[in-house]
Structure 1
């Protein structure tokens, strides 16, 4: 995306150049979503050390998920009311005379955590959200300014319009996964999909009938989204599905595939938030 890209033409992805050009715009809110699954405190420390000016930190465990239970997976969806409160404190407005706030999310993990926020906002009915292409590393590499100052709480007005049809639960997966018009996508690494290794969950393998589209294939190793034509080609064999259900280990990296499907112009994709960690909790 170019720095001169029109505001209304944004389609789920913006470049560092575009964000830098619009950094002071009053209708932009920036979310730093950096996180490390094995070091839960790391993202907060990284934010304190350096972040994009004006950004607010949202933690995967504390802000973008709810507490773990027996079922529901390792990263259950957050309580909408609590997430809405946090978004409002970032100055996010769902409606205003000037128009809704555009939320820009970034991380340094090939869009894994930024895409979770991107999907959550759309689940809350807020379509004005995009992921920063290349993440924080791309911002730094371009020589754009960084800050160590935490952003002050604001008073936005965010009224959610929950889009429950964007998500499915385990019972819906069971009843729909084998229908000829439905495709079930496993977003994990091929070795985990095949059950050759399972570093996190107690049981290895995948949901019967799922096909494997590893989430890392959406981006380059540097964290830039592959061209739109490649995103379309990647999903070509599933493009005619009436419904695509996407899952991963815990409903986080699957959102990168959902972003890819959106970029490819395939709108009928849904998240199974509990994902494999929920599915296998019933197999023990």
Structure 2
């Protein structure tokens, strides 16, 4: 069986040592960039490897064009493929990504693997807390993998850049969903980016609203009902957030709900607000 959206702790426990499975720890703290790696060293799912959001799941903030492309722009595809190979990922590898934040960071790796055409990737539902609650142990041992054979393939997910999104603002062709907390969406309490507010016309769907109280995702039916109040056509919808990370959580939630085809704006608000010629809204 191939897992392409979520996997439970019980299901992962059956395969965690399988040679054709790779588990990646994506824990991170935006305010303390070294916290994830420290937490990994203190205890992680056995046989797991560590992915650093800034170093492994993001590229250079300033591109070859000299422009700022956000706090976590997508890396060079070839460089990312090389990273995935170092983790032992091949053409037939089942990848499981997890964190301790309800999938906040794991969903980014989930989306990026789809971006390079690898479908067999799932997020551990409930993350490390669910693993521990299932009675499974954590390890401090490092794991090593044989170099993987993954090749770059056509993307299985859609993306859109700032220029394309700007052109579509006035024609009503796209619905924009912002995954940030409501106060940051309104332009209040902005601590990560130099400008507060949101892209004009965007709607707010805080990524944490995808979760139950225990940190696991809501049911497919409930997610479908909630998102149907916001969007009419997933394929005409753009997901964004502060830097293209938590927006992936909303993309995953839609996939769970069977609402496929939404696009990610990787640069998100951090890129958008860096250009003063782009419009900004600060009211709901």
Secondary structure (helix, strand or coil) at the match of 2:61 reads coil
Uncovered stretches (5+) of structure 1, i.e. residues with no partner: 1-6, 95-99
Alpha-carbon distance between aligned partners in 2 of 1:85 and 1:171, rounded to the nearest angstrom: 29
Equivalent residue for 1:216, pick from 202, 208, 215 = 208
RMSD: 1.5
Q: CA deviation at 1:204?
A: 0.6
Alpha-carbon distance between aligned partners in 1 of 2:121 and 2:5, rounded to the nearest angstrom: 6
TM, length-normalised to structure 1: 0.92
- Cα 1:116–1:241, aligned 2, differ >3 Å: closer, same or farther? closer
For the 8 Å contact 1:177–1:184, the answer to whether it is kept is no
Q: Match for residue 31 of structure 1?
A: 24
Q: CA deviation at 1:121?
A: 0.2
1:227 counterpart = 2:219: yes
1:52 counterpart = 2:48: no
Q: Match for residue 78 of structure 2?
A: 81
For the 8 Å contact 1:239–1:266, the answer to whether it is kept is no
Alpha-carbon distance between aligned partners in 1 of 2:127 and 2:240, rounded to the nearest angstrom: 23
- Cα 1:178–1:76, aligned 2, differ >3 Å: closer, same or farther? same
Q: Deviations over 1:213-260 (max 9, x none)?
A: 111101124321111111101111314354110100000010000101
Q: Work out the number of aligned pairs and report it.
A: 272
For the 8 Å contact 1:177–1:183, the answer to whether it is kept is no
Alpha-carbon distance between aligned partners in 2 of 1:164 and 1:178, rounded to the nearest angstrom: 28
Q: How does 1:99-118 map to 2 (within 5 A)?
A: 100-118=92-110
For the 8 Å contact 1:182–1:241, the answer to whether it is kept is no
Q: Match for residue 239 of structure 2?
A: 246
TM, length-normalised to structure 2: 0.92
Alpha-carbon distance between aligned partners in 2 of 1:211 and 1:136, rounded to the nearest angstrom: 31
Alpha-carbon distance between aligned partners in 2 of 1:148 and 1:11, rounded to the nearest angstrom: 28
Q: Match for residue 157 of structure 1?
A: 149
Q: Match for residue 97 of structure 1?
A: none
Q: CA deviation at 1:110?
A: 1.5
Alpha-carbon distance between aligned partners in 1 of 2:264 and 2:224, rounded to the nearest angstrom: 19
Q: Match for residue 34 of structure 2?
A: 41
For the 8 Å contact 1:63–1:83, the answer to whether it is kept is yes
Q: CA deviation at 1:283?
A: 1.6
Q: How does 1:57-72 map to 2 (within 5 A)?
A: 57-69=50-62, 70-72=67-69
For the 8 Å contact 1:11–1:263, the answer to whether it is kept is no
Q: CA deviation at 1:273?
A: 0.5
Alpha-carbon distance between aligned partners in 1 of 2:11 and 2:38, rounded to the nearest angstrom: 26
